[in-house]
Structure formats: C-alpha cells, structure tokens
Structure 1
Amino acid sequence: MFDVQGRGGGRGGRGGGGFNDGGGRGGGGGGGRGGGRGDRGGGFRGGRGGLNDRGGRGGGGGGYGGGGGRGGGRGGGGYGGGGGRGGGRGGGGHGDGPDVYTGANNVIPPPNPNITALEDRIVQQQNSALGQLSKLSVNDQSSFFPCRPGFGTGGAPVTLWANYFELNVNTASLFSYNVVVSPEESGEKKEAEQTPAKGKGKGKPKGAKTKEAGGVKLAKIIKLALDALPPSVVVATELKMSVISKAKLPLPADSVIPVAIPKRNGGQERWNVKFNGPTSLDIGRLKQYIQNFEDKGNESVFPKFAAEADALNVVLGHAARSNSNTAAVGKSRFFAFDANRREVGPVSPDSMIEILRGYVQSVRLATGRLLLNVNVTHGVFRQPIPLPDLFNRIGLNVNTLKRLDGFLGKSRFLLRTPSKKPGEWVTVERSMAGLGKVGDGAAEERKPEFLEPNKTWLKPTTVKFFLRSPKEPRPAPKGLKYDTMVLVSDYHLAKYGQSHNLRKVEEFPVVNAGTRERPEYLLAEWCSLLPGQPIKAKLSASEAQSMIQFACRKPSLNAVSVTTNARAVLALDNNKLLDGFGVSVDKQLITVKGRMLPPPTITYPKGNSVELIKPQDGGWLLKGVRVSKPGRMIKNWTFLAVSCQADQDVKNTMSKFAGFMAQNMGMAINKNATPAGGYQATPRSEQELRAAFQGMKPKPELIIVVLGNQETKIYNTVKKLSEVEYGIQTVCVVRDKIMNDKGQYGYFANVALKVNLKFGGVNHKLQNAHPLLKGGKTMMVGYDVTHPTNLAAGEGKNAPSLVGLVASIDSDFGQWPAVAWQNPARVEQLDDKLVENFKSRLQLWQKHNGGRLPENILIYRDGVSEGQFNMVLSAELPHIRTACRQMYVKQQPRITLIISVKRHQTRFYPTDPQQTHSRSKSPKEGTIVDRGVTNVRYWDFFLQAHASLQGTARPAHYTVLMDEIFRPSYGAQAANNLEQVTHDMCYLYGRATKAVSICPPAYYADLVCDRARIHKNELFDDSSTTASGVPDAIGNRKVHPNLENSMYYI
C-alpha cells in the first residue's frame, strides 16, 4: 500500500496506492510468482511456496499449475459442535502455467468470418442511410446514441481470446412473472409462543409492520410454490421476485399458490405467493434484431431487449442459485463453498474473513449472436467456524468485540441445541442480530436486567431475562420460578445440567438470535457460522494484500478457470433445465480481432533542447530531464515529522529533496525549509495534529509530511486539515523510503511530480499531439459520482453520494483543477448543482485562455452502468447545456459525451506468446477491440492503454452517448480519431511516467471523489456515529479557497 512503485494490477499509473504521496500507483508492480505446493492435509496453512504467495488453508496454491493439496483444514467434524473447516482447493496465486491459453486441443480458432462480414455490412448500411454528413449542420448531426461511424483501423492487428461463449437459444418466446410474497391473512390474532431465554412480550406491538419474508425464507417460500407446479413445467427463478417460464404457467384463477413452512417452535407459517403477469418476451425478435439492428419505433430505447436479456440471465443462473453449496451474490456472482469445489485464498491467522474465488456471468447482445460473458471474480465471506474458535483466535477485548458485533450482525449460524431426549442434540439454522449488548430489549414489557451496565457486552452471567409462564403448564427448570428474572447461565444449567450433562457455561459473550428490540440470548459455544455468507467489510492492510495476491493471476490461468471450474460452478453443462428452455452454451471461448496502437512520443525540456522519449512497455524513465513547465514559486515550505523523529538525517534528506526539485527537476522552490529544523508531532488525536498546523509560523505554502508508519488514519487527517481548514498543500512520504539511498532518485522524482502539479505546473507533453488537442480550442472534462461502500450493516445509510468534477485549463492538458460537492444518498443522477459547478470550470478555462471559451468540450463521464445511460442524457446533459447557454453569447460549443467504465467483466487473453507483456503475459499496452464482442449499432470500444505488470489486464470500456466533434470533423475516420485521442491522453496522466488504464479526466474525477470522502470522513466511517441525515457542518465542508482551483487532490 505504501510502495512507491505502486499497487500492481490496478489502474496503471495511480500514485501511492492510498496515502503514500511518494509515487505513482503504476500499472502494477512487484509480486512474486505463485505459491508452490502446500503441505498435503492436516496443516492450518499450506507450506510456503514461490516468492510471495502462501498456500491456502489446509492446502497450497491450487489452480492451474499452482499446486496445493486439498486436504487438511482445522479438524474433523461438521460445522456444529467441535468441528472445523474442511479443506478446499486452496488458493492459487499467480501460479506458473503457460504464457498463453491455447484452447481446446491446442487449437486457436480464427475470429468468426461471418460475424466480421455482418459487422462490415451493417456499418456500411448505417453510413449510407445517414447521407451526406458534410452538408449537415452541427445540430442536425447531434443525436443520442450515435451510430458507429466505422471500425478503427489504426495499429498492428492481433487476435485475442475474449471471455465470452456463444449462447444458443432455441426458443421463440419466454414468459416473465413478477412474484409477490405476503403472509396469509387470518381472522384470528394468535399470541406468539413465548420461549425461555427470549424475553419476548405478548402480542403484536402497536405500530408494528406487517411481517415480510426475505433472504433464505423468501427463497424457501418461492421454491415451495414452484414445487407445487406440475413436474413438466419448465421454470426458472432468481428466488426473489422473477419467475421465467417456457410456457404460461398453469395457475389457479387468482394466480396465488399458498405455501406453509414449519415454525421453529412448532406450528406453521402460511404464505401466499402471487404470480403477476405474465409478460411475453419475444426472443425471436431479439434474435432478428442482432442480425440487422433495426428496431423501428424504439430507436431511443437503451439498452435494447433488457427484459429478454434479464430473463435469460435468470434461466442461466437458476441451477447455480439453487445449489445449496453455492453462494449467489447479487444477480450474477456465484461462489462454490463445498470442500470439493471451493477455491479459497490465504489470510492471516487472526482474520475473521475468507476470500473465495467465484464466477460472474451475464448475457450480452453482440453483432449477429448472443454471448455469455463469464469472468473470474473474488469475494469476501465470513469464515465458517464455531464461535468459540473464532473468539479464541482473535482474542476478546473492547476493540475486537465491537468488530465481532458488526461482523456477526445478520449472519446465519448452525445452532447445536439439546433435544427433548436426554443426551441427544439437534442442529437448526438460525440468524443473529449480533452479540448481546447493554440496551437490548427496548420493546419488551419486562426488559432484560444488566448486572454490569457500565460494560457494553453481555455474558451469560451478566444478563437476566424474564422467564414467562408457558401456555401449557409444565414444571419450571429445577431451582427456577416462572415470571421471574433469571440469569441466562442459571437457566441453561438448570434446564440442561442433568439431561445433557451441562456442568458449566463458558464466559463467552452471549449471542443475540432475536432483534435488538426483542433479544433472544443463546450460548456462543453452541453456535457455528455457516459457510457461503458474503460480507461487506473494510479489509485490513494484510487482508487487502491477501486479496490482491489471490486475485492476481496470469490471463492463461483465468482462461482455464473460465473454461473449466466456471462451467462446473455455473452448471453450464449437462443442465436439464437449460435443455428444457432450449438454451446451450458453446464449449470454447470466442476469438476477436484487436489492434495494438503505437505509443505517442513524450517530450521534456533538456537544457536548451527538447528530449524526445518513446515509451517502452507503456512507460518511460524520468532521468536527466526537467518538468515541462514549473509551477509557481514555492517560497515558504516546511516539513512535519509525524510519529517519528525529526532528527538530523530527516533534516538533511529534506534539504536534499528540495535541492533535487530545484536542480534536477527545474522546479521553482526555495532550497531551505522554514524553519530549517521543521516540526515534529506525535498526534494521538485530530486535535493534537491541528495544534501542530496552528503552530507553524509563518504559514507555509507546502508541508512535506514525513510519516513514521503506514497509518491511513494519520494521512486522512493530514489531508482534511490541510485542504479544508488551513489551505496548505501537502505531500506525505514514508521516512524509511524517502531516506533509503536505494531507489531514492525515483522516490524523489515521483513526489516532485505531485508537488509540481499542486502548484500549477505541467510535467510532460506530447509531441505531435492530435489536432483536437492543439490550438487551445478544446476543454476536456471528467466527472464521477461515488457512493458509500463497505460499511457495516446499517451504517452509512444516510451518507451522501459525492461528485467530483475536473476540467483542463491549458492546451497541454497538464492542469486539471477540481470541484467536489455532495448529492443525496444513493442517487446517481446529478441535480442543478451541476450547472453552477460546470460554469465554474468554463470560467476558469476562460481565465487561463485570454478570455476565450472552448469551441469543443470533450466529456468523459465515469462509472455509470448501461441502464443509466439515458439518465445521463436526459437529466445531466441538460444541466451542462444550461451552463453553456449562460456562458456563451453566440455560438454554442460542440460537445461529445463519452461514458468510461472500468468495472465491467470483459477480459482479453493473448493467443500469441510474442504479443504479450513480458511480465504479466497480458495483452500489450495499446490493445484496442471494437468488434467481435461489441454491438455494431452503437459506438463503443475497449482500450487497454496501460501495461499490466501483473495479473490479467482490465481494459476500459468507452461508449459514445453523443457526438458533435468527431463525426462532423472526421467523417468515416471518426473512430480512428477518437481512439487515438483517448489512447494518447492516457499518456498525459501527470503524476506517473506511464500510461494509465483509463482516460485521465475520468481518472482525476475518481481521485477527487476519493479525496472528498476523506474531507467528510465522519459520514463514511462505520466507527463514527452521526445523527440521522447529514449534519450541515460536515456536509457543507469545502476545499479551502487557497486550494480550490488547484490539483490539491493529487
């Protein structure tokens, strides 16, 4: 996370991996080869293998060529009682394996020539229909979802595997039902049966909501309803609200199927399952559309045939979702967790989570065919483990108990409970609210009694519940009386001491298997977490590193997984349900045509001349050259040593670094700090760090913060204080790294690049930039919306979404000042704040360009899904138009709006060992694909601009939503020109000497959102508590006026 070379495998070129301002995040970095074989069986952890990776739990690397035994685990037995975890396949990190995937029988098929011919023919037809484009006005050419002007031709041709299978659907129609599950109405009100240790009151509390089925219960109810249909009915479901059938269902007149499920304490719950519909889905019309792309009367609809594609996804996911040994996460991610199929990564011994490898699938409409996109994915799950083992592993203290409570909330567990027969035990599945805690039972008539009210967490010996008389008279447990308050420990010892030889109750925290309002306390020693339970949680540094190492694999290994393990987990073969629907999935991945674009030439000043650098492997060395344009003079700067000594070595290094920036990099900076000895702080709180800032006299323009360790919290506090309260630019460095003679030049250079950007400089330029980038007539814009993620259950529900907007201000595209603001919680669509903030970017461009406004505005909107494209056009673009109308007196600017997406599942695998990156074996930098997996009607392409140093490269996906620039200017060559501009811009990311994976406007906008989260950290930290809604003092925080028009976020 601190490595100056960056985190490999992510976005290439991003700096510092978080809070270390000492370097670009780079296209990858480091990482050894996969783990060797773990010890076979028995061991808690597989043996060490390779350079970095360990074997998985009870097994080693696993995976293709990764070795790793299966056996082992933590002891025998099941999940209830004293058993532990079974083996599993083990992780498998990078592994060895071949450099390229060679397909079935070592045959690499050529891209389908029929698809290629169809693509060419449809593009030609579309262009002919558009007529004489050059005679049309700009407004006439403006249209939403413009047709593809042609396929790109630039670059050297290459053939690639794509992680898609051809999907065959031999049916003309499907039927879709919307399922509504509700409790059966009854004329009687029955009192809930009171069970000991629950403390539940009688009757339904006033104002209580009607009960609803969800999760496991909802799935069980829907399954029972479908089981009531005749066996000949072909039906699929996602076990929530959708049911897809081959023919109309034979339903009762009211379309309701009653279902009864057993209650835990006897009796039955009765539910009604109503099937609304059906909606007829015309699969035949879908298949016709992908052959000619004519959809008369529905031209504005996007995405096309979404309901049909969703139905096919339900059909294809039914078998995996119905498998009790497979966890379904969301709509399309599936993880096997049984011993024979699970793929698990290594984590540290004190971790509560496990990392599983799974598979994601989705149906895609491509030219001339339906495709099934299948990719490797990774998820975080609760470890399936007896609670006592978990407690002993992590240790119980104030901090771990709070973590445990959040970790266990809403989890499912196996309860090993005494049966009615002496000496015998039964197991039942339950769910819990978390650990018992002081304050539980607010809705109870007789609330629990807490014997240690000053301690948050409850033990069996510190909490009493009301033991209510049963409806049917029976003796109270020996030594106890009904309608009295009883200790949880006394109750269990009295009831089970003789019949089940229970002699003592462990001093573990009690488990709350009820709700916070109406708790039910159970003994932790009887509880074991069930497998396959995903959890949203912030990973620790070691867990995050484990995830990266486990997920980072050669493309060839992922290709093998997709064609073998994935097909098993997703049940794509020998699936009778698919046969019934007339659906089949080809065995072989498809191949597609790609191209490798050449890199642009980078220029730096060198003495009185210009240094021309041709990037190699997507990057270049920064040695013997200066920044293209130094930022403003830094007269007053200082350094602050945090949690480390500001000794003479630190002082000398700071002076050396300032001299390096001035002499080697050509930056304008005073070589001496003020004061010369800098400052020192060992903050234990935000207030103490604030005091350190306040004590700096005179107020510095730049603070170099020297961190003694890798604590994110200190970094976040530094950035919030410096950028919101004090208006001071800061860069953070790690003491050991900046003072290490080995690699110090590179570290100095990376930090200097950030300093120069923060003070208005330009680090490097392009030689022979595209005409659109020359002449100072084009402004590029990027904006993004980020939402609260990975907060514990119930936390952050009121946290706002944050918007980051950046725009270029110079013809070198080196400076990108930013503005950030908040949007209502979980709302992607932007409101009229976009008008004023977009105007502020135009005004800033005007200020830096002699009073002129840009003629062209090229916008990269980051991070929206296909289902939100229309929202961008109908709700956001009008705000941008309004801002322009308020700024432009005469001619309005030409606007092109492009969606850039990184979070998709398309991957490409090389077919030729000579056309791979030398380290990762991914496709080479500059690889572009605009056919084979795309939809010819729309204008989109995949571009992998960066060099992936490890793991499987993820290309960026760009889709043109509106174009007033490229097609009017370049006609049939519009695709080549847009692809070149986007590709070349990836080499202008200011803080790295390498191409990045996504166009810098979108990249910078993402960084601005990240920084805005730090500025308002109280709203996104599940360890913080805030009032409901968003407190104004936090929500209204803005960047200090001193920094608002700078690249403070770098």
Structure 2
Amino acid sequence: MAGKSNLCGNMSKMSISNDKESKSGHGGLANKLPPGTLGNQTTCSTNVKKLEIVRNTPIYKYDIKICIIFESQNGDVEKEISKESLINVENFRSKKYCDRAYQYVIKNNKNVFGNQSTFFYDRQSSIYTLKELKNTEYNFTVPPKEVTRDNAKAITVQIRKVADTFQATSEDIKKTHNTVHRLEDKTLLEALNTIIAQTPRDNKNVITVNGSTHYLVDANIPGLKPSNNSYNTKFMGSGLTDAVKVLEGADPKNPELFLVTELKKTLFHQEYQNLADKLYELDNRVELYKPNSREANNLLPQVKGLVCYLQNSQTAPLQTDAPLVVVKGFGPAANSKESEFETTDFGKVTVKEYFLKKHKMELNYPGMMTIKGEIRNKRCLFPAEVLVVCEDQIVRTEQLPSNEQSSAIRETAIPPFYRKKETQAVVEAIGLEPPPNKVIADVLKIKKGFVNVPARVMPSPLVRFSKNAAEVRNAKWRGGEFVQPAKIQNWEMVFIEPSNRFNSKVFLGNLLKTMKSSGIKCNEPNTETISKYSQRNLENVFIKAKNNGVSFIFFVTRDSLTSHGDIKLLEKKYEIVTQDNRLSVAENAKSATLENIVNKINIKNGGLNYIVTAGLELNKPECSIVGFDISLNRAADAPPVIGFAANVLEQTNKFAGGYKFIQNSKPEVVGPVLQEVMTEVIKRTKKNRKVPNEFIVYFNGINEGQFPVINENYVPYIKEAFKNFESEMGKKPLLTVIAASKTHNERLYKPDANPKDNATFQNAAVGTVVDKVLVNPSINEFFLLSHAAFQGTAKATKYTLLHDTAKKTMNDLEVLTFQLCHLHEIVNSSTSLPIPLLCADRNTKRSELIYKNSELRDQKDLHKKDMERFVAECNEKLSYEGTNLYFTRYNA
C-alpha cells in the first residue's frame, strides 16, 4: 500500500545508544514530590484497614519443592508441581496436590515442625514460619495415594532454608519500597500476605482463587445482598481480594502496613456439569448444528477455553484426578464419517465407534458436534458427554452473551453505601475481622474499621464551545455550537434490515436539523437500504461509495445483526469513515441522543466540538501529549498490539492516533515501536503546528512490576526519537512519563454517603484527588476520581510519575490529567481516563475487532513459526497506517 512503512524493517534499523541501555530495575523512578495543594480539603473513607505488627519478630523463609515421580520405559520421570506455570492448565490441580503433600508432611513430622499453626504455606514453593527449623534442609516422601490417584511411583518433598539475605523481620517495613526497584526487598510483604491468606484458606465456607481472592461457598450471610439474576449454567460468586501493602500513612517518614480489601462479584461456570448438558442449556437446538455453521460459531465463545475432566465411563464416579481437556472448538458429529481416525487396535473408526469399542460406552448424543479438545498438548475429538466442567472456573467476558453481560454489569454496579457495607460483611465472613486485640499468628493485628484519608476536590475546567462557555456540574455540561464544525459534502446513510415501524425520513430530518444547529455544513446524504444483510451486499455499498467519492457512511443497523466488525474491516479497506448506529437507538432518538450522535459525526469527520480553557501544557502548541495502551489481545486470540493517540493536529485539544500489532510485549520489541510512533508524532505536530520540545507521555496496561521497564527500557527509545529534531526544537526536549492504572484495589468513598441518594450523589465528588497516606512512600502517586458513576461505585484511577525532566509539581500533574479527562468530545461528560489514553484504548479495541473479522485470524497457527512475518502482514492489511484515516478520530 502506498505510504505504508515497513514496520519490521524500521524496527531492525532502530537502536538506542549503548550508554542508554540498562538492566530493568537498576535505575530509579522520579524523586518524591510534595503533595498537591489545589482544591478544597475533604476526607475520603476507604476499603483499607490498618495493620499493626509485633515488633522484632523474625520470619523465616523456606523453599519447598514437591515432585511426583512416575515410572516409564526409559526410567523414572520427575515432575515438579510446586512451580507450575500459571498458564498451565494443570495449575489449579497442582496447587491442591501441593497442599495435600504439605499437610501430610506437617502432620506426620511433629518432631520436626512442632506446632503447625506457626507455619504458613503459599501452596506453591514458599513456606514462612515464626519458628526456625533445626536443620537447613529436610527431605520427605509422601504416599502417592495421599495426594493423587494417578499411577505415581512416589512423591517427594524437599524443604530448604533460603539464604539469610532473603529472611525477614517485622522491622523490615522500610526495605519494602524504594525508587530503585532492585533495592526493594518484598520478603516481609510476601510473608505477611501468606499469613493473612491462611485464615480464609482454613475456612470451609471459602474457596481461594489465585492465592489472594477468596469466595464464599455459601454467600447467604447478613449484610450481603443475594444474587437475583439467573445466569445460564453459571452462578455469581461473592468474595474478596486482600493484599498487605506498605503505604505512606500519617507520617511520610514512617510508612505503615495496611490491608486492602476489595469486594469481588464474579461469575463462575457451574462446576461438575456435563458439557453436553451445558451446551443444551445454552442452546437446546445444539444437536442440529454443523461445526462451522453460524449458530455453532455464535455458541462456541461461551465454552471455548473451558477446562473439563475426561470421564470415560457412564457409571463410575467422577475422578478429579482424571485427564484434563481444554475446549478449543467444535468438530464433526461423533457418528459421522468426518470424525473417522486411525487407531492401532481397531483400524479406522468414528468417534462413536471408538468409545463403544474402547470404553464400552454407547453415546447418548452421537449426532451432536464433537469437541475439539486439547489434552497433554495434543488435539483430539471428544463427545461432549464424556467431558465434565472443572470447578472454580471464572467466566471470561467473551464467554458471556450480551444479555448476561448486561445483567452482570448491573449486578456488580453496587452503590457506594452498600458496596462498603458488603465489603465489611465479607471481611467478617472469611475471617479477616478478628476480635479486638487478637494477634494473628503472633505477628499481626488487623485494626477494626476502614481508614479515612485526607483528600482535595479540584475545580472542574471551563468547557468552551464556539459561542458559549459551559460550566461543568457533576461531571456534565450543556452542549453548544462546535468550535470546528465539519464540512460533509458527499455522504451516505445506509439502513440494514430496518423494521417496518422505523420512519427513516423522520430520523434523517431530525439528524440533519441537529447537525446544522451544531454548525456542521452538510448536504443531504444519499440513502440506501439493505433488506437482507450479507457481507457481499455490505461490500457492494463500499465499492459504490468509493467509486462515487463518498467520504462518510452512516449506518443504521438492526440490533440482532453482527455486522459491526464487517463494517469496520471494510472502513479500513476502502478508507471511508463509518459510523454504525443500532436501530433501537435511532428509533427512540430524543434530542440528547441526537446530540451525542452528532458529536461523534463531527469528530469522525475532522471537526472539534469544544475545547477546555486552561493554561499549562494543554494549550501549548509546542507540547505533545501522547498516550500508549499496550494490550496482549488474549481475548481476541490476536497478536499483542500497541494503541496510541496524541494531539498532533492543528488544535492542541484534538487527539488522534492508530495501532500497531507486535510479536510480543518484550521491551526489545515494544521499544522500537514506541520510537517509531514518537517520530511520527513529532513529524505530524511539526507539520500542523510547530516542532514540539516538550512531551508528556501516558501509559496504560502496565502493572506496577513493569514500571522499571518503562523507565529504563522504553524511555531511552522515546528519547531516541527526539535526536533528529533537536536542532529545530530550540532547547533540550523535556519529557514527563506517567503510568495510569484502573486495576488497583483501593476504593475512595464519601464518608457520609446517604443510602437514599442515587449512586451519583453517594459517590465522592468528581475531581477528588488523594496523594497522601494511601500512596507509595517512595514514589509519586495520586488517585483521581475524574468521572461520575450513575449506577455503581466510581473507581478512581491511580497515576504514577515514572520519569520527569520538566520538574513538574503534583499540582501540575493532577490538574493537567483532570483537564484531559474532559476532552472525550462525544458525550458531554468527563471520563475515567485522560483522552490520550482513552483514544489509545479504543484503538487497541478496534484492532481486536478488525482482527476477529479478518481472514488472518484463521492463519495464526500456520504462521506461529514465523510470527515476525505474520505480524507484518497484520499491520499491512489490518492497521490504518498508510491510509488517509491514520491519525484521525476514525474510532471516536
């Protein structure tokens, strides 16, 4: 494609100077700044409890290695289960095996361990204890039948004391945090988290997932609202995530221990359900479907990725040591010729014949699609009725149909007053609210009640339209005539399978009226109707539009159709901006809805609806504000992707961007892409305004453990992009790098929330910022509540300053970030993320959508041996780079 850059070629040419290279964790983050001062002082309640630790208490750490030994023709085979990979399907079972082996050793060797209540095991490879063992190493054997029904020869357990440098005492609080990652010693926190988790694990009414999330088996407890929704083959679990953290506390010079407790409402798959029964409950016509039919493809996402036990008997009880099968897809019916395969014992047989001859099983549903399953890294066909859903499996978003997604969102959107109340109820139920003055494991006290923290409420910015300024109230404001109205001369409106009751002329008339009152200059569109949707009919619309010079297509689509992905794939292919609107929205479009639709039309067509009037960097033509969102794309089964956006256009309030697929998320892969994007940002800003010499870069999708990677690996690549422009910049370019996170577990509550108020007024005020007490003692963090919640509890976003050569103050960072949260331009309300990150996030989601609807999705397995080539092809065919839509708000 003309103008398309060779991503792989460019990456191979990119490098960073040797003096810039550093090992992750060796460089420091930005030095600690004084807290901000702007705004009205207030107080927030939290979901955090204070901990008190018994002084001068030693905590000893031991490694534990647990192995299962199997006999084979080539000798004994040893499999270590105490360090099972988290992505390994056997992981959940290995933890149970480890716990059984550990419990056996502890109970049967009291001469070594004494009182077992002073030992705490993380069900993986670490034991913490308040009692030092006599020897530095012990070796035990466990009878296999105590752990597994597998045909194991032996189970061995080795316990070995770790080096003294990894031991801890209760005085090590200050060692847990540092601006230099490698100088942090987290041993104390690891030990305390393991000790805290022991109480819920010992509770028979609790199941623990991923070590620190505890769900109630019986959630019928006082203070906890029961689930009123019915989920097909699923149930809503109530629980809590807990984490021991060292936070700044009341005295920044003396950090303190806290316990963060976050309420969890999570859907689980119904455990021990026969997979054939599950499929019938999901769709009672399943036995009629062919593997690649539209109906089967709609059903598959609800079960894809499920882990099941293989049960080759219709009468024997379920064995939880049975082989595990991961659902990968649907195959031909068990009784069909297409299911035939060669066997050593029976020759060529169908799946039905195989189970009859091998296992003496007469299938109940021989005409049902088989399951393409993965077992021990092999792909096989299985009848659904021989598979049983394993326990404790969380339902992923892509496994939920849209109606159940809506129900789950409503159920988990709990107003603040009740969320805090339910959090306390679960804390008590799982055992984390001990009696006053009770010392847990002779080392910790959990203080009663949640802590309050000092906060400020920053003033909202003024939003300015062409002829009026709007005051922001409760995160919302009234619209006006656009600052930069678009000109749309040649456009089309396409109705896809509209209902008989829909009056398209009335809708179009109202839409045109709203467009013109907002200042948009437009002609009436050509209109077309697709009475029966097909991909071919849709593409014909694009072909004709391209030939006629159409620049914008507005779709009104029947709600039940899944045409959205096809529309966006063709948008990219033909370089025609599109807007896809559901028929139900168009049918009931009132003035407010029409305003939102027109807001999006203007932005997509190059206009700008409003600006935020403020000083600082937001209105400096020489300042580039950039957002990067790094997504692993696991839900879409696509290559990882980097979404990005920046204010590269003529108006500094105007943000646009794109995305790039990458091979993996390793720093040496991500870094060169960041350098390429930053180079493009500088070029476009230079063309539209002037060469920038100040850069503010936000990252999203990065966890705290990766902060050193940004600071030490990504920042040098970003700075490398500056070098070709330094002579034009007039001064040494300034760089500020900030990481945003919405995956933290801290909550901010209004202390005096009234349960009779609606959710908006129960929440803390929009503009609330916390940069004391609840933050890291060594690095610069702030929590900002920048949006309103109309149903549940608004969650503040946490921001961390990683790198800064511009000498910003906390006021500078907090005010700018809050202002950027008012530039969505589509709905006249503020957002939870600043606009560069919001756009970048939307771009990563667009990459997933386009990939899922492309032919390349079916070719990934074929290209695994040459991922570099496959990713280059994805960028060539599926990204907007090289098109006239690149660095526009095509994805408004």
TM-score (norm 2): 0.81
Partner of 1:954: 795
Q: Distance in 2 between matches of 1:535 and 1:270?
A: 36
1:403 aligns with 2:303: no
Q: Distance in 2 between matches of 1:615 and 1:993?
A: 9
1:885 aligns with 2:723: yes
CA contact (8 A) 2:69 2:152 kept: no
Q: Distance in 1 between matches of 2:273 and 2:652?
A: 57
Taking a change above 3 Å as real, the CA distance of residues 679 and 814 of structure 1, as seen in their structure-2 partners, is: farther
1:1034 aligns with 2:874: yes
CA contact (8 A) 2:647 2:655 kept: yes
Partner of 1:330: 210
SS of 1:158 mapped into structure 2: strand
1:361 aligns with 2:274: no
CA contact (8 A) 1:804 1:819 kept: yes
Q: Distance in 2 between matches of 1:357 and 1:815?
A: 42
Q: What CA deviation, in whole Å up to 9, does each residue of 1:155-187 have, x standing for no partner?
A: 222111111011222253323334333333769
1:446 aligns with 2:345: yes
Alignment of 1:584-595 (within 5 A): 584-595=445-456
Alignment of 1:545-624 (within 5 A): 545-569=406-430, 571-573=432-434, 579-580=440-441, 582-606=443-467, 611-622=468-479
Partner of 1:800: 639
Partner of 2:66: 181
1:725 aligns with 2:573: yes
**Equivalent in 777, 781, 789 of residue 940 of structure 1:** 781
Taking a change above 3 Å as real, the CA distance of residues 604 and 406 of structure 1, as seen in their structure-2 partners, is: closer
Taking a change above 3 Å as real, the CA distance of residues 239 and 1020 of structure 1, as seen in their structure-2 partners, is: farther
Partner of 1:707: 557
1:928 aligns with 2:769: yes
1:840 aligns with 2:680: yes
SS of 1:579 mapped into structure 2: coil
Q: Distance in 2 between matches of 1:810 and 1:520?
A: 54
1:815 aligns with 2:697: no
Considering only aligned residues, what root-mean-square deviation do their CA atoms show, in Å?
3.9
Q: Distance in 2 between matches of 1:1002 and 1:266?
A: 50
Q: Distance in 1 between matches of 2:624 and 2:365?
A: 70
CA contact (8 A) 1:441 1:448 kept: no
SS of 1:660 mapped into structure 2: helix
Deviation at 1:809, TM superposition (A): 2.5
Taking a change above 3 Å as real, the CA distance of residues 217 and 415 of structure 1, as seen in their structure-2 partners, is: farther
1:693 aligns with 2:542: yes
Partner of 1:1049: 891
Taking a change above 3 Å as real, the CA distance of residues 689 and 580 of structure 1, as seen in their structure-2 partners, is: same
When Rg is computed on C-alpha atoms for both structures, the one with the higher figure is: 1
1:219 aligns with 2:96: yes
Q: Distance in 1 between matches of 2:145 and 2:138?
A: 21
Deviation at 1:963, TM superposition (A): 1.7
**Equivalent in 338, 362, 379 of residue 489 of structure 1:** 362
1:982 aligns with 2:811: no
Taking a change above 3 Å as real, the CA distance of residues 892 and 266 of structure 1, as seen in their structure-2 partners, is: closer
Code of the aligned partner of 2:52: N
Q: Distance in 2 between matches of 1:604 and 1:931?
A: 36
Q: Distance in 1 between matches of 2:790 and 2:384?
A: 50
SS of 2:449 mapped into structure 1: strand
Deviation at 1:947, TM superposition (A): 1.5
SS of 1:720 mapped into structure 2: helix
Q: Distance in 1 between matches of 2:354 and 2:734?
A: 70
Taking a change above 3 Å as real, the CA distance of residues 327 and 446 of structure 1, as seen in their structure-2 partners, is: farther
CA contact (8 A) 2:40 2:457 kept: yes
CA contact (8 A) 2:569 2:853 kept: no
Taking a change above 3 Å as real, the CA distance of residues 303 and 378 of structure 1, as seen in their structure-2 partners, is: farther
SS of 1:900 mapped into structure 2: strand
Deviation at 1:361, TM superposition (A): 1.1
Q: Distance in 2 between matches of 1:266 and 1:883?
A: 57
CA contact (8 A) 1:719 1:730 kept: yes
SS of 1:345 mapped into structure 2: coil
Partner of 1:534: 394
Code of the aligned partner of 1:358: G
Taking a change above 3 Å as real, the CA distance of residues 918 and 339 of structure 1, as seen in their structure-2 partners, is: closer
SS of 2:889 mapped into structure 1: coil
SS of 1:411 mapped into structure 2: strand
Structure with more helix by fraction: 2
Code of the aligned partner of 2:483: S
Number of aligned residue pairs: 807
Code of the aligned partner of 2:617: L
Taking a change above 3 Å as real, the CA distance of residues 614 and 941 of structure 1, as seen in their structure-2 partners, is: same
Q: Distance in 2 between matches of 1:1010 and 1:167?
A: 40
Taking a change above 3 Å as real, the CA distance of residues 891 and 428 of structure 1, as seen in their structure-2 partners, is: closer
Taking a change above 3 Å as real, the CA distance of residues 509 and 665 of structure 1, as seen in their structure-2 partners, is: closer
Q: Distance in 1 between matches of 2:188 and 2:238?
A: 29
Identity %: 16
CA contact (8 A) 2:623 2:693 kept: yes
Q: Distance in 1 between matches of 2:834 and 2:347?
A: 58
Q: What CA deviation, in whole Å up to 9, does each residue of 1:697-744 have, x standing for no partner?
A: 403100001112154x3111111111x20001111122332243xx52
SS of 1:563 mapped into structure 2: helix
CA contact (8 A) 2:602 2:608 kept: yes
Q: Distance in 2 between matches of 1:219 and 1:760?
A: 57
**Equivalent in 798, 801, 805 of residue 964 of structure 1:** 805
SS of 2:238 mapped into structure 1: strand
Code of the aligned partner of 2:641: L
Partner of 2:30: 146
Q: What CA deviation, in whole Å up to 9, does each residue of 1:616-651 have, x standing for no partner?
A: 1110122xx2001123x2211011112226999324
Q: Distance in 2 between matches of 1:393 and 1:190?
A: 47
1:345 aligns with 2:206: no
Q: Distance in 2 between matches of 1:985 and 1:644?
A: 38
Partner of 2:519: 666
CA contact (8 A) 1:450 1:464 kept: no
Q: What CA deviation, in whole Å up to 9, does each residue of 1:15-42 have, x standing for no partner?
A: xxxxxxxxxxxxxxxxxxxxxxxxxxxx
SS of 2:596 mapped into structure 1: helix
CA contact (8 A) 2:463 2:471 kept: yes
Partner of 1:246: 130
Q: Distance in 1 between matches of 2:149 and 2:185?
A: 47
Taking a change above 3 Å as real, the CA distance of residues 344 and 384 of structure 1, as seen in their structure-2 partners, is: farther
Q: Distance in 1 between matches of 2:216 and 2:579?
A: 44
CA contact (8 A) 2:100 2:147 kept: no
CA contact (8 A) 2:173 2:188 kept: no
SS of 2:47 mapped into structure 1: strand
CA contact (8 A) 1:857 1:894 kept: yes
SS of 1:830 mapped into structure 2: helix
Partner of 2:490: 636
Q: What CA deviation, in whole Å up to 9, does each residue of 1:887-906 have, x standing for no partner?
A: 22152311111111112111
**Equivalent in 368, 372, 378 of residue 259 of structure 2:** 372
Q: Distance in 2 between matches of 1:412 and 1:940?
A: 45
Q: What CA deviation, in whole Å up to 9, does each residue of 1:76-105 have, x standing for no partner?
A: xxxxxxxxxxxxxxxxxxxxxxxxxxxxxx
Code of the aligned partner of 1:329: V
CA contact (8 A) 2:781 2:798 kept: yes
**Equivalent in 595, 604, 610 of residue 758 of structure 1:** 604
Deviation at 1:306, TM superposition (A): 2.8
Deviation at 1:382, TM superposition (A): 0.9
5+ residue gaps, structure 1:
1-142, 193-210, 420-424, 452-457, 468-485, 491-503, 968-973
Q: What CA deviation, in whole Å up to 9, does each residue of 1:388-440 have, x standing for no partner?
A: 75455332333569639945842359999757xxxxx7876645426896588
Partner of 1:501: none
Code of the aligned partner of 1:893: P
Q: Distance in 1 between matches of 2:195 and 2:394?
A: 23
Q: Distance in 1 between matches of 2:855 and 2:229?
A: 25
